C-alpha cells in the first residue's frame, strides 16, 4: 500500500458535473474499498465547498472537493491475469471510436473495492491503455449479466449521461420470477427509497416519499412455478427490477438479497446457481448518427434451466 499523506483539494471541472460524489470518489480513489469511501463521506472527512455532503450529492463545476489522507493501493500490483483479460475481450459485443458495450458475466463486479482488487473497468483499462479516460457509463449489479456501456472519452461520457437523464437510453432485461404471473403485462410504479448501511451496503425498499420508479413486466412464458418475463425500465433506480419484482410477490429467482431463500434453494436443484436477470438489449444515441442497438446473448446455463422447467411442467 502507498499512502496519500496530505489532504487534497480538487477543483471539479465541467467533465465532473452531474456525477454523484460517491461515484466520483470510487473512480478517483480506485481500489479503495467501497465501505471506506462511504465512511469518509459519512464522517465528514470528504467535504465540498467546506461543507459536509451526502453520498448522493451531485457535483457542480468549480466545486472544491476535499479528499482526506488515505491509504491507496500500489497499482503496480493490481494487474489482471491474462486469462481474465482474454475472457473480457471475448465479452465485447460492440465497439466504435467512442464506446464499448460488454456482455458482462454474472458474478463480476463492475469495479474493484470491498475486497475485490480487480473489477471489469480495471480490466478494460488494461486492455485499452491508450485511452486515459475510459469510464463506466452506467452500472449493473454484480449478480446481473448483460449489456454494459463503457465510454472511451469524457466528452462521450457526458453525452451519454445526459442521454440517460433525458430518457434517451432504453434498456430491456430478461428475468425469471418466482410463481406464475396472473397478468400478461404488469406496470409497477411503487416509489423506491435507498438506504446505505454503515457497512456501505445499499438496501432499497418500497416506501412512500421515495423516488418515482416505473418498471414494466411483460410475460413471455409461464411455467408451473415460475414466469419468464421481459422487463422494461422507464426509470433507472438502484435495484429497481429486483425490488419491484419482490414487491409484486414474484422475486427474481436466484436473488440472494431480495429473493426467497427457500425458493432459491429449490431452483438450485434445477441448476440455477446465479440470479436470473440479464440485460439483453440496450438502445442509446450517437451524436452524429442513428441510435445504436446492441443485444447480449444469454448464457447457455440459463437456457438449460428453462428447458428443465419445460420438462417439469
pLDDT digits (tens, 9 = 90+) for 194-243: 887 766 677 899 999 899 999 999 999 999 999 999 999 999 888 999 99
Q: Residue 299, Cβ neighbours under 10 Å: how many?
A: 15
Contacts 24+ apart (CB under 8 A), 77-82: 78/31, 78/112, 78/117, 78/118, 78/122, 79/126, 80/118, 80/122, 80/123, 80/126
Measured on CA atoms in the order 70, 74, 80, 81, is the torsion positive or negative? negative
- Between 111 and 209, name the one with better pLDDT: 209
Bridge partners of 132? none
Which residues in the chain are classed under CATH 3.10.290.10? 8-67
Q: Which residues have C-beta within 8 Å of that of residue 119, sequence separation ≥ 6?
A: 108, 109, 110, 111, 112, 113
Q: Which residues have C-beta within 8 Å of that of residue 32, sequence separation ≥ 6?
A: 25, 26, 70, 71, 72, 73, 113
The C-alpha atoms of residue 48 and residue 57 are separated, in whole angstroms, by 9
Which residues in the chain are classed under CATH 3.30.2350.10? 78-164, 166-312
The pair phi, psi for residue 126, each rounded to 5°, is: -70, -35
Please give the CATH topology (third level) of the domain spanning 78-164. Answer: Pseudouridine synthase (3.30.2350)
Mean pLDDT in residue range 125-134: 88
Confidence of residue 1 (pLDDT cuts 50, 70, 90): very low
Task: Look up 141 and say whether it is catalytic.
Answer: yes
In CATH, the architecture of 166-312 is 2-Layer Sandwich (3.30)
CA distances from 30 to 15, 74, 149 (A): 18, 10, 19
pLDDT digits (tens, 9 = 90+) for 41-59: 999 999 999 999 999 899 9
Among the options 16, 22, 63, 141, which is catalytic?
141
The C-alpha atoms of residue 296 and residue 178 are separated, in whole angstroms, by 23
Q: What's the pTM?
A: 0.78
Task: Give residue 3's pLDDT.
Answer: 46
pLDDT of 72 above 70: no
What number does CATH give the domain 8-67?
3.10.290.10
pLDDT digits (tens, 9 = 90+) for 245-275: 999 999 999 999 999 999 999 999 889 999 9
Q: Helix, strand or coil for residue 184?
A: coil
The C-alpha atoms of residue 104 and residue 107 are separated, in whole angstroms, by 9
Mean pLDDT in residue range 84-101: 94
Mean pLDDT in residue range 19-45: 84
Rounded to a whole number of angstroms, the CA Rg of the chain reads 20
Q: Helix, strand or coil for residue 109?
A: coil
Amino acid at each position: 500500500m502507498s499512502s496519500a499523506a496530505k489532504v487534497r483539494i480538487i477543483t471539479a471541472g465541467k467533465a465532473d458535473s452531474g456525477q454523484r460524489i460517491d461515484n466520483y470518489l470510487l473512480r478517483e480513489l480506485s481500489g479503495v474499498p467501497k465501505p471506506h469511501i462511504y465512511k469518509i463521506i459519512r464522517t465528514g472527512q470528504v467535504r465540498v465547498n467546506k461543507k459536509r455532503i451526502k453520498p448522493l450529492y451531485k457535483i457542480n463545476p468549480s466545486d472544491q472537493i476535499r479528499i482526506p489522507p488515505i491509504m491507496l493501493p500500489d497499482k503496480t500490483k493490481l494487474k489482471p491475469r491474462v486469462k481474465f483479460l482474454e475472457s473480457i475481450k471475448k465479452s465485447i459485443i460492440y465497439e466504435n471510436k467512442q464506446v464499448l458495450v460488454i456482455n458482462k458475466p454474472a458474478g463480476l463486479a463492475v469495479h474493484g473495492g470491498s475486497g475485490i482488487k480487480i473489477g471489469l473497468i480495471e480490466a478494460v483499462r488494461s486492455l485499452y491503455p491508450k485511452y486515459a479516460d475510459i469510464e463506466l457509463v452506467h452500472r449493473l449489479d454484480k449478480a446481473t449479466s448483460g449489456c454494459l456501456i463503457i465510454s472511451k472519452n469524457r466528452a462521450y461520457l457526458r453525452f451519454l449521461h445526459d442521454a440517460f437523464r433525458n430518457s434517451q437510453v432504453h434498456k430491456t432485461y430478461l428475468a425469471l420470477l418466482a410463481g406464475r404471473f396472473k397478468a400478461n403485462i404488469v406496470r409497477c410504479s411503487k416509489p423506491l427509497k435507498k438506504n446505505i448501511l454503515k457497512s456501505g451496503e445499499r438496501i432499497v425498499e418500497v416506501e412512500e416519499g421515495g423516488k418515482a420508479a416505473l418498471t414494466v413486466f411483460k410475460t413471455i412464458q409461464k411455467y408451473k412455478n415460475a414466469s419468464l418475463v421481459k422487463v422494461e425500465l422507464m426509470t433507472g433506480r438502484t435495484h429497481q427490477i429486483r425490488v419491484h419484482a419482490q414487491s409484486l410477490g414474484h422475486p427474481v429467482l436466484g436473488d440472494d438479497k431480495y429473493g426467497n431463500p427457500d425458493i432459491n434453494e429449490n431452483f438450485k436443484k434445477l441448476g440455477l446457481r446465479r440470479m436470473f436477470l440479464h440485460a439483453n438489449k440496450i438502445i442509446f444515441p450517437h451524436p452524429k448518427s442513428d441510435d445504436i442497438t446492441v443485444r447480449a446473448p444469454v448464457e447457455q446455463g440459463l437456457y438449460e434451466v428453462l428447458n428443465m422447467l419445460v420438462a417439469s411442467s
